[in-house]
A and B are shown apart, each in its own frame.
Chain A
Amino acid sequence: MLKVSHLTKKFGELVAVNDLSFHVAKGQIYGIAGPNGAGKSTIYNLITGNYPFEGEILFDGESIAGMPPHKIAQMGISRTFQVPETFSSLTVEQSVAVGAHFGDTDLFDPQRVDEIITFLELEADRDRMAGELNLLGNKKVMIGAALGTRPKMLLLDEPMAGSNANEIRALMALIRRINVEMGVTIIIIEHFMKVLTELTDKLLIIESGTRIAEGDPDKVTSDPEVIECYLGQAYAEDN
């Protein structure tokens, strides 16, 4: 579904992503992890058209090079942000409707907004201003707006950041439901390895924009090179 080949991005002298290749199959939950500054979010910014890049990104066989972010959203790739983005001037319902109205190329269907609000259990908050919600609420609204676009692929950028154990469990269940019930292929960037090993079908570890390991999450997390450059010996001993 998504084929990234020899992806490279330089910011001046800094090589943020270095000759990276990976493939995400339809229906997968694909994880990306690595130390801070490894280039994880940059990969999302390249896939979603925020920066020009070297290499090739094919989505459903079509190159997305040079496409603006809104066109890529309309193609079926939607994303969330590490720091939750909300529309403080809009209500929860209106925020979800932004995705449904502009990202979905089909005619706007208000019923879809209702379905997403119900799916996310946001009924009680639908008329509240999006900026008034707590962190979990903000994340749900951000995901809801992304789902409004009727995405084929959803890119989640550290969805668990700042969440407590209960919220992490709720978000994990939600991600699974989006994948299974809505049939959305998911890429997830995350630091919580337990989340990645439990959720993902395939895991990519990068450092300095370069691939360290890729494959079955359990195998990847026991890879000596991954332990040395990212997870640390303590993680290996605990697991």
Chain B
Amino acid sequence: MSATMALVFGIMAVLPLFVGGTAHMMHILIMCLIWAVVASCWDLIMGFAGIFSFGQVAFFVIGAYASAIFSIQLGIHPLAAMVLAGLVTAAAGVLVGLPCMRLKGAYIALVTFAVHMILEPFLKSGMGRALGTGGTRGILTIPPMELFGITFAADNKIAVFYAALALAVICSAIIMLVIRSSWGTAFLALKDSQDFAASLGVSAFKYKLAVFALTSFLTGLVGGFYAHYIGMLSTRLLGIDLFVMLMIMLVLGGIGQFPGAILGAIMTVIGNEMLAPLGAYRPLVLGALVVVLVLLLPDGIMGLLRSLVPHKVAEQVRQG
């Protein structure tokens, strides 16, 4: 697991040497890293903890808006605003998670997707405007992060890239440590059989709420990073496109096959860009490719890699 992660992030780290001069390519790499974290968080809650949460994009948007509002309205440094946004999103995650404690499967998907659906009208409403969301116009002048004399803005993509890489490495390491810890075992046990796990002393309430809080925090944190990088926000993020793209990342990488979500995010973002010349046919081709991949690789790319590597080596890779 850690070997695959190290290899992927190691390759990513040297890519600016080859494409650093192309702003568009650097933007794609930055977005690969941002979505890698969001997809990995989704994998942790859905693939490992077995909670069908469809609120990941909503949490990303909450984090992005919260960080933008903290920095614009309260003048908080973007880095502190990002952390605060992560905490606000974690609180939102816990609030969403609480009613989900009494629900299972598709009902959790419905509740969490309802949060996604409610968020757009809320951000556009009078209450949202009062909070500083900018209503239908959105937020247009989000200050970039400045640290050690470096401005991490859209016109300094190499700096942003390495900040995104550091953030992705930290978030992925946290996710990996959680999966390997007793928390990860509890998540898997609850996913496989909640009644059996509870009869062995695993608190479903504690661990399910914890995974909501953790994945929301990390997603909100990265949402904040995105806001300060792009410099503007609108509710377009809540459109179905991003939601579907994230789902493709997860399925392509392999659900419950971390760090497959990282590979899935990179391949989906780059694949989507490569299909750009197809214009209106792009979603159609992308959709068809996903159907074929799901049928051929039910455990995603990571599942395929694990099946190709001899068992003992795979175990060593898994153990790091």
Q: Which residues of A contact B (CB under 8 A)?
A: 48, 50, 68-70, 73-74, 78-79, 81, 85-90, 94, 97-99, 101-104, 108, 142, 145-146, 148-149
Contacts and interface: CB of A to CB of B under 8 A. Distances in A.
Given A98-B200, A142-B196, 9 more contacts: A85-B193, A86-B196, A87-B188, A89-B192, A90-B185, A97-B185, A98-B185, A98-B189, A103-B200
A88 B204 CA distance: 18
Contacts of B131: none
B199 interface: yes
B122 interface: no
Given A87-B188, A87-B189, A89-B188, A148 B195 contact: no
B203 interface: yes
B182 interface: yes
Nearest to A103: B201
Contacts of A70: 198, 200-204
B281 interface: no
Contacts of B197: 87, 98, 102
Contacts of A78: 199-200
B192 A87 contact: yes
A148 B193 contact: no
Nearest to A142: B196
Interface string B191-220: 111011111111111000000000000000
Interface residues of B, number: 20
Nearest to B196: A85
Interface of B: 182, 185-186, 188-189, 191-193, 195-205, 256
A90 B195 contact: no
Contacts, number: 78
A68 B203 contact: yes
Contact of B195 (A81, A86, A99): A81
Contacts of A81: 195-196, 199
Given A90-B185, A94-B185, A102 B192 contact: no
Nearest to A89: B188
B265 to A, nearest CB: 23
10 contacts: A48-B199, A50-B195, A69-B195, A70-B201, A70-B204, A73-B201, A87-B193, A87-B197, A101-B201, A146-B200
Nearest to A85: B196
A148 B193 CA distance: 17
Contacts of A102: 182, 186, 197, 200-203
A85 B185 contact: no
Contacts of A86: 192-193, 196
Nearest to B186: A102
B193 A69 contact: no
Contacts of B191: 89
Nearest to B205: A68
Contacts of B193: 85-87
A87 B196 contact: yes
A189 B4 CA distance: 48
Contacts of B189: 87, 90, 98
Given A99-B200, A101-B182, A85 B188 contact: no
Contacts of A108: 182
Contact of B198 (A68, A89, A90): A68
A97 B185 CA distance: 9
Q: Which of B182, B188, B189, B195 has the most CB of A within 10 A?
A: B189
A7 B210 CA distance: 35
Contacts of B192: 86-90
A101 B189 CA distance: 12
A73 B188 CA distance: 19
B198 to A, nearest CB: 4
B232 to A, nearest CB: 42
Given A90-B189, A101-B185, A85 B201 contact: no
A94 B180 CA distance: 12
Contacts of B182: 101-102, 108
B54 to A, nearest CB: 22
A90 B193 CA distance: 11
Contacts of B199: 48, 69, 73, 78-79, 81, 146
A85 B202 CA distance: 15
Contacts of B186: 98, 102
Contacts of B200: 70, 73, 78, 98-99, 102-103, 145-146, 148-149
Nearest to A90: B188
A118 B204 CA distance: 29
A87 B192 CA distance: 5
Q: Which of B191, B192, B203 has the most CB of A within 10 A?
A: B192
